[in-house]
Structure 1
Amino acid sequence: MSRNEKKPGRTTRAEGCALFQYRLSSDLLTVILCSRGGALETLAIDIGNTRASWACFKGSAITSRGQLESFDGIGSVDLSWGDIETIGIGSVDPDACRRLLAVLESVTGIVPIQMTNGAEVPIPILLPDPASVGTDRALNALAWSRREPGRGAVILDAGTALTVDAVSNAGEFLGGWIAPGLDLSARALATGTALLPTAERSVAEGPWGTDTSSATSGGIAILLAGGARALRDRVLGGLDADVATVVTGGDGDRISSLLGPEVLHLPHLTLEGIALGAHERQGGVGD
């Protein structure tokens, strides 16, 4: 039986709703999968450090998607269900991934394909310990290498952490850099000082901030953009000419706007990697 073959006696819920409940840390996340008809192929679920997102793919096209900003309280996702043949889960939280995997398998009869470290992603990782590479970093590299075969890239993923990674022209993951992301930097500044508030998610116009809020929010964003640019340039120095600069992640829009017009913003790159990785892991070929 293949990893995604439906178990005997189990049926996929093509109609109605299936209520999935699983615990992420101490919080309860509820995912509601509802049928609306149509032939869907792959459900990709990305569990990050502070967010969970999902997308349904028909071939390479996203037919529906959603995102949970945090795991606080109860979130519900109304997901077009249809005839899903493959489920892929990419997660930087292996415990959460295992719990979700068990629930998905018990309700749908499909065994999801899980990727919780770089060694489980079908891409060459030219490092001594591929399993130590974060899943999201490897998935981004996989998605880019399938989008643009033969062209390398610097991939900046702006989430809880900011990662800046190198992908060769041959589609190999070479390594990269890891730094705190925008929200993590804001929380660290607020908790590490007596009077500074948590920074807002905006950057004021003008040469400087005119109050504490604008000074902290702008200072963090501009500092991070400058650091991202410096790390990007350092990675570019080790790659061949004519490579792309790609930005993804929950704060990708903010980072890309501060890096310049040459940046390619691909907000769903990790989800693409999950869908591709799931198909390649089971030996299938996407449409």
Structure 2
Amino acid sequence: MNLILDVGNTRVKLAVFKEDTLMEQEVFDKEEIVSEVQKKCNKNKISGAIISSVAKLSDDKIKKIEEIVPLVILNHATKIPFVNKYATPTTLGVDRIALAAAAVVKYPKQNVLVIDAGTCITFDFINEKGEFLGGAISPGLKMRYEALHNYTAKLPLLSAEIPKNFIGDTTVSAIHSGVVNGLCNEIKGIIHQYQQEFYNLTVVLTGGDTNFLAKQLKNGIFAHPNFVLEGLQTILNYNTTND
């Protein structure tokens, strides 16, 4: 079994994979990471682990985890199952590296656009040759609502809600229409750009807002809420079998 650790600014996503099947998943505070790793290793026969961190994790915590289980630390020197053609590879986020790895393995020899709908919306493109070419970064759903509130004097801070009509007849409904319809049409427009350039395009939607946006985007998109975790599992396997 493999242990997958996806570390954010304050929280950690932990997953246990048996072969390529996700067996367990949980989220906890970053400060608990060592004790939670110990618990999972005591409970399961963990043969290896990988850690992806978009935030700084102390060297002390890393060392303690390495004392518990063999650990791959995902960075720009880690072996990956695709060709990284990003012009500035050292600036490519580890979450985007994981998404590209998942795309190459799950959709081999296909043109794949991965849309990660989280704090930011990232668009990552991997061509049929297994080459990562890049993509785009845009404000996420929550960030758009917060921007309208923070950069104006009177607009309220709202939580995401599916608009009842694209014509908002109140300030609240106009905000929902602008944010949700605006984002969905942005995504559709970017998908269309890629479809014009690359035939037989596969589109994957992942991230925290997957379920909310999938209802609006509808057909032709594969929803994979755990695509980052699956990509980390792919990279861990790639490193343990290609030593």
TM over 0.5: yes
Following superposition, the deviation at residue 205 of structure 1 comes to 1.5
Matched, 1:209 2:171: no
Verify the 8 A CA contact 1:200 1:214 in the aligned structure 2: no
- Cα gap change, 1:141 to 1:72, in 2 (>3 Å): closer
In 1, the alpha carbon distance for the partners of 2:202 and 2:65 equals: 37
Verify the 8 A CA contact 1:121 1:139 in the aligned structure 2: no
TM-score by length of 1: 0.74
In 1, the alpha carbon distance for the partners of 2:232 and 2:136 equals: 22
- Cα gap change, 1:174 to 1:278, in 2 (>3 Å): same
Matched, 1:197 2:156: yes
- Cα gap change, 1:274 to 1:74, in 2 (>3 Å): closer
**AA paired with 2:160?**
R
**Match in the other structure for 2:63:** 102
Following superposition, the deviation at residue 100 of structure 1 comes to 4.4
1:237 alignment partner, SS class: helix
Verify the 8 A CA contact 1:92 1:134 in the aligned structure 2: yes
Matched, 1:225 2:184: yes
Aligned residue among 40, 50, 54 for 1:92: 54
**AA paired with 2:18?**
K
In 2, the alpha carbon distance for the partners of 1:127 and 1:121 equals: 15
Verify the 8 A CA contact 2:11 2:30 in the aligned structure 1: no
**Match in the other structure for 1:262:** 220
Matched, 1:146 2:105: yes
- Cα gap change, 1:254 to 1:179, in 2 (>3 Å): same
**Match in the other structure for 1:169:** 128
| Residues 98-126 of structure 1 deviation map (CA, whole Å, 9 limit, x = unaligned) | 564234224x2x24211144x53502111
**Match in the other structure for 1:282:** 240
**Which one has the bigger helix percentage?**
2
User: How many equivalent pairs are there?
Assistant: 238
Following superposition, the deviation at residue 238 of structure 1 comes to 3.0
Following superposition, the deviation at residue 137 of structure 1 comes to 1.3
Aligned residue among 49, 53, 57 for 2:13: 53
2:22 alignment partner, SS class: strand
Percent of residue pairs bearing the same amino acid type? 26
In 1, the alpha carbon distance for the partners of 2:25 and 2:94 equals: 20
Unmatched tracts of structure 2, length 5 or more: none
Following superposition, the deviation at residue 180 of structure 1 comes to 0.7
Matched, 1:125 2:87: no
TM-score by length of 2: 0.86
Relative to structure 2, which stretch is displaced further, 172-181 or 187-196?
187-196
Following superposition, the deviation at residue 256 of structure 1 comes to 2.2
In 1, the alpha carbon distance for the partners of 2:66 and 2:9 equals: 23
- Cα gap change, 1:103 to 1:194, in 2 (>3 Å): farther
